[in-house]
Structure formats: C-alpha cells, structure tokens
A and B are shown apart, each in its own frame.
Chain A
C-alpha cells in the first residue's frame, strides 16, 4: 500500500514557500536579472520521487501561486508546472538518480522545457513579455543557476521522510 500521508501538504508548503522566497529573498542573489527557480527544482524532485499524480497536482498549485504573485496571465505557469510535474513523474522508478549528476541534468532539462513552453504559449496567446525573451543569455544563465543549485536542494529534500518513495514505488 502506497504511503501518501502528508505528502501533499508537505509538497504544497515547500513549493509555495519556494515561490514566496523567489519573490523576496532570492531577488537579492540574482545574476543578470535571473533568480534561481527554486520552485521548479523542488517540483522536479517531488515529481520524480512521488510520481506523476503528485507531480501534476502540486505543479498546478505552484503554477497558480506564481500566476497570482506575478504579472503573468493566470494559467500560464499553471500549465507549464503541471506539464513538467507530469512528465517528471513518469520517470519515477525508471531512472537512477545519483546525488550529483542526475539532479543537474534533470533540472537543466526542466528549465529548457519551461523556456520552450513559455515560447510556445507566448506565440499562441499575445503575451509581450515572452516573445522578447526566448533564448536570450538569461535562459542559459537560468539553466546554469538552477542546475548548480539542484544537487544541494535535492540533498536537503532527501532529509524529508514523507517525500521518500513508498515500498511499492521502489520495486
């Protein structure tokens, strides 16, 4: 039996705290207008640990929170984070995640997927902020920044018992 107790509340608390930190403290350590996408890193971790159902639901809630705090149109980040949460949930149990290299690769790919989805949605819906921002040097800094933070955050998140996969999921 899958042990789900507390995984959703803990995930929501972690992700929403990450979004609030992005909007306040992390702004002070930005590099060339890029702040680390803490919520994306945490979402990747949760999705790969707990599967696509948890990944997509927590992704959706995180995205909505970002949409509320940002000037972005409602639904933009919800779409992106739901998609990433689902996709990364699929790899649960199929990929061995070592403490260093895989977190870097997983988060780098997630940042790239986010940028691609932003670009696509920016074309479909008229969002002026996005069309001027695809594949600029900020994207590469963002990929580098997020991926370098990933191993540290993954190591920290490994300490949270409720986010560890249940018995059935390990098999």
Chain B
C-alpha cells in the first residue's frame, strides 16, 4: 500500500497531466456535438460583468479626455446641423406622405405587409479572446428581450449593414456570430440585377466574404463595386439589409456558377454599437 502511495506521489505530475488532458479531450468531444451550451452560458454571464466593467472604465477615460476638444467641435457642428434639420423636416413630411401613398397602393394591389423589426441598441463590450474565433460580445441579454438567431446590424456612413446573428444569450450579455466567421452563412442578392447567392465567412484572417452559387447568367451584369444585400431567404435575416460590395468576380468555364469576393460594409474591427433586430409583435 505504501509502495503504491509512493509510486503515485512520485509520478503525480504525470497523472495530473493525463487527467487534465483527457478531461479536455472529453469536453472537446462532447462540445463539438453541442451538448455543453449551459455551463458555457453560465460562465459567459459571469465574465460579462468584468467585460462590461473594463470597457466602461476605458470608455470613461477616453471620453473624458476627448470631451474638451469635442465641445468646441460640437459647437461648430450645431450651427450646420440646425440648417440640415430644417431640410430634414421638409424631407420627413415628404416621406410621411409617400409612406401613406405606398400603403394605399399596396392595399390596392393586395400585397402582404412586410415584417416590421424593432431595434434594440447594444454596446460591444468584448471580443473573442482566441485568435481564429471572431465572436462579438454585447451588453444586452435575455432580460432585454434578446433571443438566439436574432439578426444584428450596425450603421456605417448612413447605411444599415449586416453584422451577424445572435448565437448565445445570457442574462445581461449576448454573443454575436459575425458574418466573417467560417460557420456563418447568409443568403444574399446582388442589388441591381437581383441574382442570388450564398455568402460565407472566411474567418477573422480575411476581410472578405465569399458569395457562391451565383448563376453564370449574371456575369455580364455584375460589376466591381455592386452592392450585395440580404435576400431574406432562410428566415433569419430580413431582406434588403446591406452586406457588402463586390471586390472580385471569379468565373471558371467548366462551372455553372460564379464566385464573388465581397467586402463587408461594416468594419468589424471598429464596431462600438450594434442593433439587434426583433420582430415586432402584431
């Protein structure tokens, strides 16, 4: 018995090493099949408080530092914004009139009403700490009405661009699977010629998305810089949201479809705020 104890004590580092490695592999095996969501969600909930705290402190220092110069700039901007406001008020009146007219025409044509979405604003509080993975953590969770599979957008240069979808929801935080992730697929459409395809991420190492299964018939009417939007197929993403712009067109003679390289509208490295789209209850 003593000899057994002595042998164990002598080789305890090796035994612990094996136990830890085997535990990791078992977790990895189970996790690959998606069974360990719950512990992950509990852990993420806990760490979201630290993420939010550190992001908040860093933002506070940054904002305080910038606020002095910002004040001067804001004063200058105020004058020009007031002028623009008057212009927008006039435009707004026109839009209301157009909306009413559009609704009347739709009613006359018996077209089904398009789904309306409520936007839940959220702040980015963290990113994936492991390099090949590219998730984004936001400060809103199921307490704020967020659920899995909800689409997420952000605004850049006045355009609403697709960011990704919610994959993990905790009490006060959620995790977004961005478009760039290799496990992300989005049904897209080239805006001006209406040809459809499937967009796939290539990982955080590549800033481009790949759009596959676009019919070759679209070759003559597809150009560099064309906008790609969501097609609405699949049901996760609403149609008409900007995804990106075409940066290269690949077509092989023996293939029936072409492959496009698409640069996302959103700069995933600098997202600070996003909007989670929630279908409005009827």
Partners in one complex: yes
Residues of A at under 8 Å CB distance from B?
Answer: 19-25, 27, 30, 33-35, 37, 39, 51-53, 56-57, 60, 63, 65-79, 82-83, 86, 89, 118, 121, 125-130, 132-133, 136-138, 142
Interface segment, B16-24, B74-82, B96-104, B221-229? Answer: B16-24
Inter-subunit contact B132/A74 (CB<8 Å): no
B110 within 8 Å of A (CB atoms): no
List CB contacts (< 8 Å) of B111-139 with chain A: 125-135, 137
Inter-subunit contact A79/B44 (CB<8 Å): no
Instruction: Chain B residues near A89: list those with CB within 8 A.
Output: 13
Additional A-B contacts beyond A35-B129, A68-B39 (16; CB < 8 A): A19-B129, A33-B205, A52-B13, A68-B47, A71-B133, A72-B132, A74-B39, A75-B25, A75-B31, A82-B24, A125-B29, A126-B32, A128-B183, A129-B132, A133-B132, A138-B131
Inter-subunit contact B129/A69 (CB<8 Å): yes
Top 7 A-B pairs, shortest CB-CB distance: A75-B27, A68-B43, A75-B28, A79-B24, A73-B31, A22-B129, A74-B31
Instruction: Chain A residues near B181: list those with CB within 8 A.
Output: 71, 129
Inter-subunit contact A127/B24 (CB<8 Å): no
Known: A71-B135, A82-B17. A136 touches B24 (CB 8 A): no
Residue of B nearest to A134 (CB): B132
Inter-subunit contact A24/B20 (CB<8 Å): no
Inter-subunit contact A127/B32 (CB<8 Å): yes
Q: Is the interface of A mostly helix, strand, loop or mixed?
A: helix
Inter-subunit contact A25/B203 (CB<8 Å): no
Residues of B at under 8 Å CB distance from A?
Answer: 12-13, 16-17, 20-21, 23-32, 36, 39-40, 43-44, 47, 50-51, 54-55, 58, 125-135, 137, 167-168, 175, 177, 181-183, 202-205, 269
**Once the chains are docked, how many angstroms separate the CA of A101 from the CA of B245?**
46
A-B contact pairs, 10 of them (CB 8 A): A23-B127, A24-B126, A27-B126, A30-B269, A56-B17, A72-B130, A73-B27, A79-B24, A79-B28, A125-B29
Known: A70-B133, A75-B26, A128-B183. A23 touches B128 (CB 8 A): yes
Inter-subunit contact B54/A25 (CB<8 Å): yes
**Once the chains are docked, how many angstroms separate the CA of A120 from the CA of B268?**
28
**Once the chains are docked, how many angstroms separate the CA of A125 from the CA of B29?**
7
Most chain B CB within 10 A, of A69, A75, A130, is at A69
Instruction: Chain A residues near B29: list those with CB within 8 A.
Output: 75, 125
Residue of B nearest to A53 (CB): B13
Known: A53-B12, A57-B20, A75-B24. A69 touches B128 (CB 8 A): yes
**Once the chains are docked, how many angstroms separate the CA of A142 from the CA of B129?**
13
Instruction: Chain A residues near B50: list those with CB within 8 A.
Output: 20
Instruction: Chain A residues near B129: list those with CB within 8 A.
Output: 19, 22-23, 35, 39, 66, 69-70
Instruction: Chain B residues near A21: list those with CB within 8 A.
Output: 54
Inter-subunit contact A142/B131 (CB<8 Å): yes
Inter-subunit contact B43/A35 (CB<8 Å): no
Most chain B CB within 10 A, of A51, A67, A118, A126, is at A67
Residue of A nearest to B175 (CB): A71
Instruction: Chain A residues near B55: list those with CB within 8 A.
Output: 24
Inter-subunit contact B40/A121 (CB<8 Å): no
Inter-subunit contact A129/B28 (CB<8 Å): no
Instruction: Chain A residues near B30: list those with CB within 8 A.
Output: 74-75
**Once the chains are docked, how many angstroms separate the CA of A125 from the CA of B24?**
13
Instruction: Chain B residues near A37: list those with CB within 8 A.
Output: 131
Instruction: Chain A residues near B133: list those with CB within 8 A.
Output: 70-72, 129
Known: A52-B17, A133-B132. A24 touches B12 (CB 8 A): no
